[in-house]
Amino acid sequence: MAIVEFRDVSRVYRNGDHEQRALDHVNLSLEEGKFIVVLGPSGAGKSTLLNLLGGLDSPTEGTILVNGKDISTLTPNELAEYRAASVGFVFQSYNLIPTLTVVENVALVKEIAPNPLGSHDMLKAVGLEDHIHQFPSELSGGEQQRVSIARALAKNPHILLCDEPTGALDSETGVMVLKLLLSMARDLGKTIIIVTHNQNIAKMADVVIRVKNGKIRSCEEQEHPLSVEEVDW
C-alpha cells in the first residue's frame, strides 16, 4: 500500500523575475515500511522533496498524499499537527534545544504528539540511558545525533525523514548511527526516507530514487539490499 504519493508536484521559487524550479512535475509512489534513499547532486531537488513531504514547505502545483490525506493544501496550523503526528525528522546538524537536557529534548514531543513513546525507553534504545540529564553541548556529535533519532522516533511517526543524517559525523560514528537508525525504524515498522549524496547508503535501501534538475530520473527497487556490515564504507 502506498504511504506517500506525489501527483504532478512542482515547487517553484521566485526571486523577482528569476524563477527556479526545484521540483518539476514529480510523480512518485512509496510503499509503507520501506527504507528509501533519495540520491542526487547538490541542487537536484532532493531536500525540496523531503521538505514537501515533511510539511516544512508546500508545493506550487500538484498534490501530495500521505496515508491518503492531501497535505499540499493544509494551513500552517494543520501542517504543524501533521508534523507532530506523522513525521519524524533527523537532520545533519542534530538541531537539539541547547537549554534542555537529553531526556527533556526527547520528552518535548509529548507536548504535541498524539501517541508518543516513552522518552526513557527511546533513550535506552539509542544507548544513552546514562546521559539523560546531560545537556546536548556535553555530548559528542554521534551522541547528539542519537538523541535526535530518539526524539524523532519518540513521536511514533509513520515516516522518518532524514536529511544527510551522517553528514556531520566521522565515518565510524556515521555507520554506527546509521545502523541504529535502521534497526530502530525497522523494529518499529517505520517508513524511512533518507536524503543523501552518499552512494554507499543507497546500497542498503529497498528503494533508490535518483533526482536531477528537479525531476525523478529513476526509482528502483533493490531486491537484495545490503546490510550495514556488508557495505564497504
Name the site residues for other proteins (rule: CB under 8 A).
47, 51, 54, 56-57, 76-77, 80-85, 89, 91-100, 104, 107-109, 111-113, 133, 135-138, 151, 155
Distance in Å, CB of 126 to other proteins, minimum: 17
Nearer to other proteins, 144 or 207 (CB): 144
Q: How far is CA 131 from the centre of its chain?
A: 24
Nearer to other proteins, 15 or 77 (CB): 77
Between CA 162 and CA 182 the distance in angstroms is: 11
Between CA 231 and CA 112 the distance in angstroms is: 38
112 contacts 120 by C-beta, under 8 angstroms: no
Distance in Å, CB of 57 to other proteins, minimum: 7
What residue ranges in 32-128 does DSSP mark as E strands?
35-39, 61-66, 69-70, 87-91
Nearer to other proteins, 152 or 228 (CB): 152
Distance in Å, CB of 48 to other proteins, minimum: 9
Nearer to other proteins, 113 or 185 (CB): 113
Distance in Å, CB of 77 to other proteins, minimum: 5
Tell me which amino acid residue 196 is.
T
3-state helix, strand, coil in the chain (%, to 5): 35, 30, 35
